[in-house]
Structure 1
């Protein structure tokens, strides 16, 4: 049995190394964001797929009518599975893809704490979140300047301190970030 496992590992290593060389996305890149202050790490997991993890302050707003507008900057943790669908087309047109410059479809999930840093929303004692599909555009320039925009529609939820649901609903999400990619990018 041990020999069979060893043969399997030795047989699959060359194929997985070849798949790493054929990636269009970066193996890993660290980003610092300014608009929603925080940090992100994006890791390549396939030819055109990444996992993006972010930690920072997120802006949120809601309103129900002309007189009510609530907003807050809240600590948040975000995770996304991204599929960059236009990398081959960009390469065919002679455009750059370094720094994961491209358009993507993503499954996004965000958890917010109830600790309002800035805003007019009263702090609670639970958590809130969003999950759903988003469409995004990311551009990274040679000196590391980076921006991304995304929008989508998904499920918003809020829980109390015992993680019991207190509110759910569907709604839009819009996100915009400006920042810098730190370190060298390998794809050109």
Structure 2
């Protein structure tokens, strides 16, 4: 009986010490798609709980005329840099939940840049305006099996348009909303 109790005590100490060593992965790479685009991303470890996410992809937009049906769409390139703090990894490990692939809840500062490199659209005479947004975001990321992931996030922040010579902007600074639901594949 003493040996069994001693074994359980040692196992308990081992589990507790493992929960204090929870960490984001050194590097993780994947592809995600959602309602409004497709993206390729990499997350690089900065500390045990902080990762830097870099992302390149295509964002989708739609246009609606006179409050009626969707009349147009566009695809434009997007570059994103996002430090993420995965704040609940230790709690997830202590409850025997997965943290591989940086599976956990996070708080981030999502910085997104839409350059005017090219635009794929069905609209005529579309003049795309370059913008940058900085959005504090709360989100979750979870794994399904070994390689599939899903992610959801919400945030409100600042949006700035870079004015062109032939464009007049009214109330230049604007509010940016980050509301995303994505599914992906992790390599």
TM-score range relative to shorter protein: 0.7 to 0.9
Distance 2:107 2:122 in 1: 31
Per-residue CA deviation, residues 95-122 of structure 1 (Å, 9 max, x unaligned), is 0100000010000110112333246596
How far apart are 1:142 and its partner, in Å?
A: 3.6
Is contact 1:125–1:161 with CA below 8 Å preserved after alignment? Answer: no
Match of 1:53?
Answer: 54
In structure 2, the CA distance between the partners of 1:88 and 1:112, relative to structure 1 (3 Å rule), is: same
Per-residue CA deviation, residues 70-128 of structure 1 (Å, 9 max, x unaligned), is 75321100110100111111011110100000010000110112333246596325411
- Count, aligned residues: 161
Match of 1:139?
Answer: 142
Distance 2:124 2:177 in 1: 19
Distance 2:104 2:42 in 1: 17
Task: Please list, as runs of the form range in 1=range in 2, the aligned pairs for 1:1-188 lying within 5 A after superposition.
Answer: 22=21, 24-35=23-34, 36-60=37-61, 66=67, 72-114=74-116, 115-118=118-121, 120=123, 123-124=126-127, 126-161=129-164, 166=169, 167-182=172-187
Match of 1:7?
Answer: none
TM-score by length of 1: 0.73
Match of 2:5?
Answer: none
Unpaired stretches in structure 1, ≥5 consecutive residues: 1-21, 183-188
Q: Deviating runs (4+, > 6 A) in structure 1?
A: 62-65
How far apart are 1:159 and its partner, in Å?
A: 0.8
Match of 1:3?
Answer: none
Unpaired stretches in structure 2, ≥5 consecutive residues: 1-20
51-60 or 96-105, which moves further after superposition?
A: 51-60
TM-score by length of 2: 0.73
For the aligned residue pairs, the C-alpha RMSD in angstroms reads: 2.9
